[in-house]
A and B are shown apart, each in its own frame.
Chain A
Amino acid sequence: MHRITEKVVLSENIVKTVFEAPEIARKRRAGQFVILMIDEKGERIPLTIVDSDPVKGTLTIIYQVVGKTTDQLAQLGPGDVIGHVLGPLGHPTDVDGIGTAVCVGGGVGIGVLYPIARALKEKGTRVISIIGARTKKMLILEEESRGVSDELHVTTDDGSYGYHGFVSDVLRDLIASGTKIDRVFAIGPVPMMRVVSNVTRPHGIRTLVSLNPIMVDGTGMCGACRVTVGGKTKFTCVDGPEFDGHEVDFGLLTSRLQMYAEQEQLARDRCRCGNHDR
Chain B
Amino acid sequence: MTDKDKTEKKDGKERIPRQPMPEQDPKTRVGNFDEVPLGYTPETAILEAKRCIQCKKPGCVTGCPVDVDIPGFLQRVAEGDFLGAARKIKETNCLPAVCGRVCPQEDQCEKLCILGRKWDPVAIGRLERFVADYERQAGAVEVPETPAPTGKRIAVVGAGPAGLTIAGDLVKMGHEVTIFEALHKAGGVLIYGIPEFRLPKSIVDAEVEYLRRLGVKIVTDAAIGRLKTVDDLFAEGFHAVFLGVGAGAPVFMNIPGENFSGIYSANEYLTRSNLMKAYSFPEYDTPIARGRNVAVIGGGNVAMDSVRTALRLGAENAYIIYRRTKAEMPARAEEIHHAEEEGVQFKFLTNPIEYVGDEKGWVKRMVCQRMELGEPDESGRRRPVVIKGSEFTIDIDTVVVSVGTMANPVIPMTTPGLETNRWGYIVTKDETGETTRKGVWAGGDIVTGSATVILAMGAGRKAARAIHDYVMAM
Q: In the complex the two chains form, is B227's CB within 8 Å of A27's CB?
A: yes
Answer whether A251 and B361 are a contact pair too, CB < 8 Å, given A24-B227, A222-B250, A223-B267.
yes
B410 to chain A, nearest CB (A): 7
In terms of DSSP, what is the predominant structure of the interface of chain A?
A: mixed
Is the C-beta of B32 less than 8 angstroms from some C-beta in chain A?
no
Q: In the complex the two chains form, is A68's CB within 8 Å of B408's CB?
A: no
Answer whether A86 and B268 are a contact pair too, CB < 8 Å, given A68-B285, A219-B248.
no
Q: In the complex the two chains form, is B286's CB within 8 Å of A43's CB?
A: yes
Is the C-beta of A44 less than 8 angstroms from some C-beta in chain B?
yes
Which residues, 139 to 165 on A, are CB-close (under 8 Å) to B?
Answer: none
A182 to chain B, nearest CB (A): 28
- Flag the segment in B61-69, B276-284, B433-441, B447-455 that touches A: B276-284
A116 to B348 Cα, complex, angstroms: 52
Which residues, 347 to 363 on B, are CB-close (under 8 Å) to A?
Answer: 360-362
Contact among B260, B262, B267, B361 for A221, CB-based, below 8 A: B267
B413 to chain A, nearest CB (A): 10
Mark contacts of B270-308 with chain A using CB atoms, 8 A cut-off: 1 yes-contact digit, 0 otherwise.
Answer: 011000110001111111010000000000000000000
Contact among B223, B260, B284, B362 for A86, CB-based, below 8 A: B223
Question: What residues of chain B lie closer than 8 Å to A223, measured between beta carbons?
Answer: 250, 252, 264-265, 267-268
Question: What residues of chain A lie closer than 8 Å to B289, measured between beta carbons?
Answer: 259
B259 to chain A, nearest CB (A): 6
Answer whether A41 and B284 are a contact pair too, CB < 8 Å, given A86-B221, A219-B223.
yes
B229 to chain A, nearest CB (A): 10
Mark contacts of B212-250 with chain A using CB atoms, 8 A cut-off: 1 yes-contact digit, 0 otherwise.
Answer: 000000001111001110000000000000000000111
Give chain B's interface residue range (CB within 8 Å of chain A). 35 or more
Answer whether A267 and B250 are a contact pair too, CB < 8 Å, given A84-B221, A88-B227.
no
Contact among B182, B259, B267, B271 for A252, CB-based, below 8 A: B259
Q: In the complex the two chains form, is A252's CB within 8 Å of B361's CB?
A: yes
Contact among A87, A252, A258, A267 for B226, CB-based, below 8 A: A87
Q: From A37, A216, A226, A238, name the one whose CB has the most chain B CB atoms within 10 angstroms.
A: A216
Q: In the complex the two chains form, is A69's CB within 8 Å of B285's CB?
A: yes
B186 to chain A, nearest CB (A): 13
A233 to B248 Cα, complex, angstroms: 17
A258 to B360 Cα, complex, angstroms: 9
A52 to chain B, nearest CB (A): 13
Question: What residues of chain B lie closer than 8 Å to A85, measured between beta carbons?
Answer: 221
Q: In the complex the two chains form, is A256's CB within 8 Å of B250's CB?
A: no
Q: In the complex the two chains form, is A222's CB within 8 Å of B265's CB?
A: yes
How many contacting A-B pairs (Cβ < 8 A)?
A: 119
Contact among B261, B265, B271 for A255, CB-based, below 8 A: B261
Q: In the complex the two chains form, is A86's CB within 8 Å of B249's CB?
A: no
A32 to chain B, nearest CB (A): 8
Contact among A23, A87, A227, A259 for B261, CB-based, below 8 A: A259
Q: In the complex the two chains form, is A216's CB within 8 Å of B287's CB?
A: no
Question: What residues of chain B lie closer than 8 Å to A270, measured between beta carbons?
Answer: 282
Is the C-beta of A80 less than 8 angstroms from some C-beta in chain B?
no
In terms of DSSP, what is the predominant structure of the interface of chain B?
A: loop
Q: In the complex the two chains form, is B286's CB within 8 Å of A44's CB?
A: yes
A contact residues, total (Cβ < 8 Å): 44
Q: In the complex the two chains form, is B223's CB within 8 Å of A89's CB?
A: yes
Answer whether A267 and B184 are a contact pair too, CB < 8 Å, given A88-B226, A221-B248.
no
Which residues, 104 to 136 on A, are CB-close (under 8 Å) to B?
Answer: none
Is the C-beta of A224 less than 8 angstroms from some C-beta in chain B?
yes
Mark contacts of B381-413 with chain A using CB atoms, 8 A cut-off: 1 yes-contact digit, 0 otherwise.
Answer: 000000000000000000000000000111000
A68 to B262 Cα, complex, angstroms: 21
Q: In the complex the two chains form, is B184's CB within 8 Å of A86's CB?
A: yes
Residue of B with least CB distance to A260: B287
A227 to B276 Cα, complex, angstroms: 23
A265 to B282 Cα, complex, angstroms: 11
Binding site for B on A (CB under 8 A): 23-24, 27, 37, 41-44, 68-69, 83-89, 216-224, 226-228, 233, 238, 251-252, 254-256, 258-260, 263-264, 266-267, 270
Contacts A/B (CB < 8 Å), 6 sampled = A27-B228, A216-B268, A217-B192, A228-B259, A256-B361, A266-B282
Binding site for A on B (CB under 8 A): 182-184, 192, 220-223, 226-228, 248-250, 252, 254, 258-262, 264-265, 267-268, 271-272, 276-277, 281-287, 289, 360-362, 408-410
